[in-house]
Structure 1
Amino acid sequence: MGLFDKKYCDICGEKIGLLGNRKLEDGNLCKDCAKKLSPWFSDRRRSTVEDIKGQLAYREENRERAAQFRTTRSFGEDRKVLLDEDHRWFTVTRARDLAEANPDILDFDAITGCRMDIDESRTELTHEDADGKDVSYVPPRYEYSYDFFLVISVRHPYFDEMRFSLNSSSVYYEPQKLPQRAPMSHAPMDRPSGRPKTINASRVDPEDCAEYRKYRQMGDEICQALEQARSGGKQPAGAALEENIIMHEAVQDIPAAGPWTCPACGGANTGKFCEYCGSPRP
């Protein structure tokens, strides 16, 4: 067969358009059939036509579960981890209409582990000198960015992990320059006593950043909930409603948005927590 010969999908039999072929180990797959596969599946090229037919049959069976799914607990922001504690099911999805989106619905017993990966990158900061050139600070200063990924390990015939981002955009953190006192010692004869030497230093601790803490705590909470679900624990009846009421009351107690000064460290802030020392907004 030539490179540009017409190809047909070995699943649905439809003609495959230009650039629409998804190669299988022993055949061809059209993009429409490929869209029906699990979003966590990544081994298409080594799959046979029969493998794909088997997975599509599973996906149709899964659609029935998705229609029956009733969320009892929800975690996350853009992509959510949803629990159905009555059926002992969970799913990870962005969709609001589960029956339409058909996300993979897994049993709690399929969970084999959960962990969070935090990717860190560092960019050196510069400033303009008297000649208008970008130069490094002395000592060098850096801005850090973080991305938070949750990895749920599972027993499943078509994938073994569900890895996804907790944050929709990177979290940026610039360490604060802190004055550091030199160790106490007798002052040299040529320097007046009582004036300890200070140097500019940066404390690299992302826990100082409220956004960093938010997503790190979110990942810990999800892993804890999944471990509880796997081990058979269940939130007591009415606990979810009570938790929502408490959270709602807490939100109502937060002052209106606007700039504020931290009473602990004097830092200027706009969020619920001080970006510099972590203290809550007064």
Structure 2
Amino acid sequence: MTLPYDPDDDQAADRYINAALRSRDAEAWRLLATETHVEQTDRVLRAMLDRIAVARTHRTAERAAARVRAREGDISQAEYERDAAEDANRATKAAHFETLVREHHRLIAAAARRLRGDDVRDELTDLVVALGSAVDAHRTAVLASGAEPTPADEALWERLATLDAPDAVDGRVTVAELVRRRAAKQDDLGRVLAAIVLDAAGEAASVPRAALLTPWKKAIAPTLAAAEKTEFAAKGKGSLATEKLRKTMGHLERKGLVKRAGTADDQRLDLLDRPGLEELAGRR
């Protein structure tokens, strides 16, 4: 048995997937995850999630406009409440459908990533960037010390400048550019976390990690694109915000500003360099 449409007919795929979502037909989803169609299924489900997000934004704007009309007397309070109740009912159904789409997309996206080799590529890119960051840190330390670079040092630094790696945006870029981008992004998030750590700690020398999570999620939520969250969720690694917190704490540790302590269930962050945290947070 095969799917009744071609891998480039997304309109037909959209109709078929909508029916499969409602019927929860296991055989249909097995076919949708086959190598010939899984990337198309992934693409169509992502488009569904995008439409859901757009509809939610539109609905929120409509409710805000309705509140203004009710306040100004353009519609009666009874009309407003009736429309609000109908909208709440539609929103509940939309939320249920979105949950259904996301549940299936996690499985499909994981299969699509395996087929494309995305996980292997990402792991290798992370490894290359980590090595590049170490070379860059070595160069900074040597030059800052005033020591004369050895020929081996200069050859290593030259290799960093010419080596390239795959990049989702530009196709391929130099490892040095990837290191620069990663460092800039980490510094941006580091500034956010430094401020949160200082506020949560007050005058204390240590702060529970649990006290950082809520303000962290609130602070970075506007920076997380829906596509990025969907992509991360498809990897089955939990919350993107929590993962960024973990990596950013590591970034502050490497700067010598904080140190993680305690167990995984009761982790704390010790403040090692309060002036450095204040400088990073822009408070001095």
TM-score, normalization: structure 2? 0.22
Q: Relative contact order (C-alpha < 8 Å, sep 6+): which is higher?
A: 2
TM-score, normalization: structure 1? 0.22
Structure with max Cα Rg:
1
Report the structure, 1 or 2, having the larger helix content.
Answer: 2
Report the structure, 1 or 2, having the larger strand content.
Answer: 1
